[in-house]
Amino acid sequence: MKEIIDNILLDSLKIKQEFISQNTSNLISLAEKISSAFTGNGKLLICGNGGSAADAQHLAAEFVNRFILERPPLPALALTTDTSVITSIGNDYSFDDIFTKQVKALGMEDDVLLAISTSGNSGNILNAVKAARLQGIYTVGLIGGDGGALKSIVDLSLIVKSPLTPRIQEAHILAGHIICHLVDHILFQKHLK
């Protein structure tokens, strides 16, 4: 079992290192875009399914509450949390519309939509991005594998090139924490190194 643990650790570290080296400039660009949204009239909308839904909620909490330093709350919203909205849309229309209707209701041109998908092929994520783009919202895909259909419809794609969902999710949360840190640095750099 120790060998299993060691192999998982080595694989996770390798995938994260490759992802970061391939996406450093994209992570900086995204942090700058989110910071601009926050200093303007915009907010960060985040969506995902399953573990990616949990990541969406996790990242929204880091912005609304705090990440490392004490600072004012920042406007981020996970579109995965309102069960009444999600289940009513899923029941009355389709599961593929659960994020789209929220983007249409809550999204504005100055916002950023972060769509998290390990496959890049989830119907509800693809529909949300299409709706966001029609509203002039900047769209980002935090994706895995080969990027799926999502990579070609977002403004910016960050792809973890692994076929393994757990390794993709581990890299996604690292990326999320880096983005939080960079945004705090951009907006409150006198307090953060």
DSSP 1-63: -HHHHHHHHHHHHHHHHHHHHHHHHHHHHHHHHHHHHHHTT--EEEE-STHHHHHHHHHHHHH
Return the CATH number of the domain spanning residue range 2-188: 3.40.50.10490
- How many helices and strands, by DSSP H and E, does the chain display? 6, 5
Q: How many residues comprise the chain?
A: 193
- Tens-digit pLDDT string for the chain (193 aa): 999 999 999 999 999 999 999 999 999 999 999 999 999 999 999 999 999 999 999 999 999 999 998 999 999 999 999 999 999 999 999 999 999 999 999 999 999 999 999 999 999 999 999 999 999 999 999 999 999 999 999 999 999 999 999 999 999 999 999 999 999 999 998 655 5
**Taking the domains of the chain in order of start, what are their residue ranges?**
2-188
Q: What is the pLDDT, as a whole number, of residue 189?
A: 85
What's this model's pTM, rounded to 2 decimal places? 0.95
Where do runs of H (alpha helix) occur along 40-164?
A: 51-64, 83-92, 100-106, 123-134
For residue 174, the one-letter residue type is L
Instruction: Give the tokens for residue 178.
Output: 């880096």
Q: What is the pLDDT, as a whole number, of residue 56?
A: 98
Nearest-angstrom CA–CA distance, 22 and 180? 19
